[in-house]
Structures are given as C-alpha cells and as structure tokens.
Chains A and B, each alone.
Chain A
Amino acid sequence: MHSFLSRGNAIIAYSLSVLALLTFFCFLSTEFLDYRAKAKISTPKILVKNVPDYSASRRENDLGYLTFDLQADLTPLFNWNVKQLFLYLSAEYSTPNNALNQVVLWDKIILRGENALLDFKNMNIKYYFWDDGHGLKGNPNVTLTLSWNIIPNAGRLPIIQSIGSHSFKFPSEYTTDRL
C-alpha cells in the first residue's frame, strides 16, 4: 500500500470481489422463485398442405398452417434478476416417422419493462410448420404449448412451460388453393 499503483490495485480488486458477492446475492434472492404462469391458447384456423420444401429436402412435405389466439399475463415473472423472457409457442406431435416432433411456430422477446400482458387474436405463425414427411395430414393430436426461457442478469437459464396447453387435430384433406 506504499504507492499509487498498489493502492489503486487493491481498491479495484476489492471492488470486484464485492461486485461478485453482490451478484451472487442477487442470484440467490431469485433462485427459488416460482416462474410458472397460466396461458390460454386456441386455434381459430387450421390447414394442411402438401408442397415441396425448398428449405430442406426439396421433397414434398406436409406444411401446416394455423392462426392462434393467446392470452397470458407474464408481468409477475419479472424481477431484478430477469433481463428478458424468450417466449415461444411450440407444437408437439408424433408421427409414424418420428416418435417426437417439436416445431417452434412463433416466438417473442420481452425485455424487462416492456408490456408482458399478452392478448393476441388470430395471429399468424412466424415460422413454417414443416413436418419431416407426411405426418400432419389427419394428425389427431398436436399440442401447442407456450414456454419461456428466462434470461437473468446472472444465474441459471431455466425453461418453463406454461400451465395450460391446447391440443387440436389437422384436417384429413390437403388444402390445394393458395394461402
């Protein structure tokens, strides 16, 4: 502690250790909170088409199309250690081809401070609902779930499923006209 440098160095080192400790307290204070919430999902419109998938194999694959309604209040999920929520709506189903298929249809980033009270009507999906084959036509059980990945300031990155999902079935005939 006899020179500018050694004193400055000691203060920087001590400040950084205190910062690390504070960050750890912040992480601890939110680690055991319950981040579940309810969501209400429905699908007003469902179609399935059979068209060439140019993004992948170029073979003709089933392409699902739907619009959805979504209501959820995610405001209570935010606290001082939640920087953003990554929200996504995923469809889960099984086909003769695959035991499990999961496709994200829509996603949204909600930063802290932004409106987290969701009320969407007749939303279009954001990503193509391609199946890996022909498993969508007449599929009796496709489940839509809303999930969120919590991005903290520091800490774990949990993925939480909403309470409340929505199951539907695809029509047993392809739609041939353009969307």
Chain B
Amino acid sequence: MNVFDRFEIPLHMDYDGQRRAEKYSKIIITLFGAVGLIWGYIIQRFSQTVYILGAGFILATIIAVPPWPIYRKKPLQWQKPRSDDAKKGKAAPANTEQNTNKTKKKK
C-alpha cells in the first residue's frame, strides 16, 4: 500500500463502501445461483447452473473487489484537532465516543 500511497492513488474503501461491496457481492452471487438453478433444472443440465454461478462469481469479483470510487463516498468525518487537547481530564471524555466507534468498525 505504501508504494501506491506515494503516487496518490486512493486504494481504500470507506466503512460504508465496504459494507455495500459485501452486500452487492452477496446479492449478485445469490441471484446468479438462483437463476442458474432454475435454468439448469429447466434444460436439465447442472453444468449450466455451475457456469452461471461462475459468471456471477466473476461479476461479483469485478464489482466488489477493486476499490472503485463509488465505495469512497462517505469518508469518516474526523473530529478537528482541538486546541484544548493539552488540558488533561477535559479532553479524555470528549473523545471516548469517537474512539470506541472507530475501533468497533475496524473489526
């Protein structure tokens, strides 16, 4: 990643983008699988079912694996660095919410 960062090509998805990418890939694969099963049953060829699922797999890979720009539309709104950060005691409680939120999503 470091190499790419140097050329300023953004290669990440934001959290919302990751969620959508997973959703799209599952929808595509499930849909192709279901259509493949019905089509394969109608023409009585299971190989066609497998091929259609394979097509769904390729389409899902193309759509959901590369970090397309549409998955970067909702970047995290980081809180501005606060000038009174230096003062202990006050800064800590104000930041907790943001911190827990971040760690949870990273999982």
Binding site for B on A (CB under 8 A): 1-2, 4, 7-8, 10-12, 14-15, 18-19, 21-23, 25-26, 29, 79-81, 153
Report the bound CA distance from A25 to B40 in whole Å. Answer: 11
Assuming the contacts A8-B65, A21-B33, A80-B44, asked whether A2 and B49 have C-beta atoms less than 8 A apart, the reply is: no
- B46 & A7 in contact (Cβ 8 Å cutoff): no
Complex interface: chain B residues within 8 A of A79 (CB)? 44
Q: Of the candidates A4, A12, A80, which one forms a contact with B46 in the assembled complex, judged by CB atoms under 8 Å apart?
A: A80
Interface contact B29-A15, CB-CB below 8 Å? yes
Q: On chain B, which size bracket covers the interface?
A: 20 to 34
Could you tell me if B12 and A2 are in contact, using CB atoms closer than 8 angstroms?
A: yes
Minimum CB–CB distance for B10 against chain A, Å: 13
Complex interface bits, B1-20 against A, C-beta within 8 A gives 1, otherwise 0 = 00000000000110000110
User: B71: shortest Cβ distance to chain A, in Å?
Assistant: 10
Contact B21 A14 (CB under 8 A): no
- B29: A residues at CB distance < 8 A: 11, 14-15, 18
Partner of A10, one of B22, B37, B106: B22
Q: Are B22 and A19 in contact (CB under 8 A)?
A: no
Chain B residues closer than 8 Å to A22, beta-carbon distance: 33, 36-37, 49-50, 53
Q: Which 7 A-B pairs have the closest CB atoms?
A: A1-B18, A80-B44, A18-B33, A15-B57, A80-B46, A7-B65, A11-B25
Determine the distance from Cα of A26 to Cα of B40 in the docked complex, in whole angstroms. 9
In the bound complex, residues from chain B placing their C-beta under 8 Å from that of A23 are 46
A23 to B45, CA, bound (A): 12
Min C-beta distance of A22 to chain B, whole Å? 5
The answer for the CA separation of A26 and B39 in the assembled complex, in Å, is: 12
Q: CB-CB < 8 A to A12: which residues of B? A: 57
Q: Does B53 lie within 8 Å of A19, measured CB to CB?
A: yes
Chain A residues with CB below 8 A from B95, complex form: none
Asked whether B53 lies within 8 Å of A18 as measured between CB atoms, the reply is: yes
7 extra A-B contacts, CB within 8 A, seeds A7-B18, A7-B25, A15-B57? A1-B21, A10-B22, A10-B25, A11-B29, A19-B33, A22-B49, A80-B40
A120 to B33, CA, bound (A): 43
